[in-house]
Structure 1
């Protein structure tokens, strides 16, 4: 099982990767709050997806977040490292993403 610090670092790594992708692909018209809930650690982080970038990563949950990623710590690390396919992970219920359907379509472009 990964630690809270490992999960925090994974989110920062994801933010760095999204920064590179945003520069290469152009801006994505998506400005939403994001909650990342780590089930096996009983912890959460929240951030904002803005223009295809992940910004303002902070410890703690945001119950009003427009997008919620719910997963275990090891699955989060595998997902960010590219070892876990998002579509398969959702289909197998390793991860859960709660968002409106239009936001889900835009999120696919990020991942």
Structure 2
């Protein structure tokens, strides 16, 4: 089982990867939105902001998200690490229910470019 530190490292790597992206991925990552990632098996929430192609202002708190972010993710820690490392494909994880993504329809349309 992934630790909170490993999950934080995965989010940092995701942010770095988004920052290096180009084309449609860069456009999708350029949203300015609040973001939460609830790690269900650890019952820890990472809160941050997707801005300028990076995830910034990341904080960690125990429990479910306290506020409703514009982009909300929920998954197990191992799945977060596997997604970022490229061992798990987002679309299949989402389709099987391993990853939950909630956002407004416009944001979902933009975020699909990341898939």
Deviation per CA, 1:1-20: give whole Å up to 9, x if none: 01000000000010110111
Q: Are residues 1:104 and 2:108 paired?
A: yes
Distance in 2 (CA, whole Å) between partners of 1:83 and 1:35 is: 22
Deviation at 1:101, TM superposition (A): 1.7
Q: Secondary structure at the match of 1:93?
A: coil
Q: Secondary structure at the match of 1:68?
A: strand
Q: Which structure 2 residues correspond to residues 25-40 of structure 1 after superposition, within 5 A?
A: 25=23, 26-28=26-28, 29-40=30-41
Aligned equivalent of 1:70, options 65, 69, 74? 74
Distance in 1 (CA, whole Å) between partners of 2:66 and 2:86 is: 26
Report the equivalent of 2:50.
49
Report the equivalent of 2:5.
5
Deviation at 1:63, TM superposition (A): 1.5
Q: Secondary structure at the match of 2:7?
A: helix
The structure 1 segments of at least 4 consecutive aligned residues displaced by more than 4 Å after TM superposition are 26-29
Deviation at 1:109, TM superposition (A): 2.3
Distance in 2 (CA, whole Å) between partners of 1:91 and 1:27 is: 24
Deviation at 1:78, TM superposition (A): 0.5
Q: Secondary structure at the match of 2:107?
A: helix
Report the equivalent of 1:20.
20
Is residue 15–residue 53 contact of structure 2 (8 Å, CA) maintained in 1?
Answer: no
| Paired residues, number | 109
Is residue 47–residue 58 contact of structure 2 (8 Å, CA) maintained in 1?
Answer: yes
